[in-house]
Amino acid sequence: MFVGGEVLQAWWHWAQAIIPEPERESGLRELKQFLSAFTELSPLDITLRRFRPQIRLKLPLADLQERWQRRWQERVPLQYLIGTVHWHDLELVVTPSVLIPRPETEELLEVVAATVPPWQQQGHWLDLGTGSGAIAIGLARLFAAAQVHAVDCSPEALEVTRINIEKYALGDRVHCYVGSWFTPLTHLQGQVQGIVSNPPYIPTRLVATLQPEVQYHEPPLALDGGADGLQAIRQIVETAPEYLQPQGWLFMELMATQGEAVAALAMATQAYERVEILHDLSGHDRFLLAQAV
């Protein structure tokens, strides 16, 4: 369907006007992204208001209006309204059943790529708590000879994972399992080269302090890490050695305040010969790197 340039211009003025004043700058960036996702206009066309006489729309203008209103009235994250997110070198489908993958997790993948020597970039790799499949798909593309096993306890999340796996034609190398952490993977005990996970790590009491976009719209299962935030992390750190080959790797994303506690958990197992907490680009403790004995 098409819309006249002048009609879209008028829509643009309305859409700008409903952005709350304190969020004007970021809201305008989002508006450009939003409009370019549903039209053939590039963000530059939009910045320069190069609205042609007739512009093709992917949705009726009334639907765009309704979605843009939900962005500000209900604080629905932009990525859920658009239905996709650019993450690492991927464009992933996202729905409210999955966490919107974050820039820190792109860094996690970079840490994996920079750490694992070529001889270990094959065999079985796990993504525990896969959500959109971001880590699993990223891993499979980095390590072309690896088989990646992606686990999530949410069947709705795994429907999205599967869509993304198909999008990148990785069905022969990325395998999905419904279940809790290692439970569906017992056939891989002792055979895994590496585990990468971004588990839920927010302490329960802090979930209610998160920004409304996260608190009300992202899946609670993806956020809530139990009373101390370490429930999932503890389980993964303690069980991983049963699955890893000698010298196998565990990489995990953490909350900035959890580095010391997580390093202590890993060392207490005596199952890792190397345990490090790495910083993210903002200088916060963010990643566990552990190598099995």
Ligand X SMILES: C[S@@+](CC[C@H](N)C(=O)[O-])C[C@H]1O[C@@H](n2cnc3c(N)ncnc32)[C@H](O)[C@@H]1O
Binding site for ligand X (CB under 6 A): 98-99, 101, 105, 129-132, 134-135, 151-154, 157, 180-181, 198-200, 219, 221-222, 232
Q: State whether residue 124 is helix, strand or coil.
A: strand
Between 64 and 185, name the residue whose CB sits nearer to ligand X: 185
Q: How far is the CB of 93 from ligand X (least distance, A)?
A: 13
Length of the chain: 293
Q: Which helix H or strand E contains 128, and what residues bound it?
A: strand 122-128
Least distance (Å) between residue 72 CB and ligand X? 25
Please identify, using beta-carbon distances, which residue of 27 and 101 lies nearer to ligand X. 101
Inter-residue contact 70 to 81 (CB < 8 Å): yes
CB 140, min distance to ligand X, A: 14
103 marked among binding-site residues:
no
194 marked ligand binding residue: no
Q: Coil, strand, or helix at residue 22?
A: helix
Q: Which DSSP category does 199 fall into? A: -
152 belongs to an annotated ligand binding site: yes
Q: Is 129 annotated as a binding residue?
A: yes
Distance between CA atoms of 154 and 166, rounded to whole angstroms?
19
Question: 30 or 152, CB closer to ligand X?
Answer: 152
| Residue keyed to tokens 């017992």 | 186
- Write down the residue that tokens 């999955």 correspond to: 98
Q: Please provide residue 223's backbone torsions phi and psi, each rounded to the nearest 5 degrees.
A: -110, -50
198 is in an annotated binding site: yes
Residue 106 Cβ, how far from ligand X at the closest point, in Å? 10
Residue numbers belonging to the annotated binding site: 129-133, 152, 181, 198-201
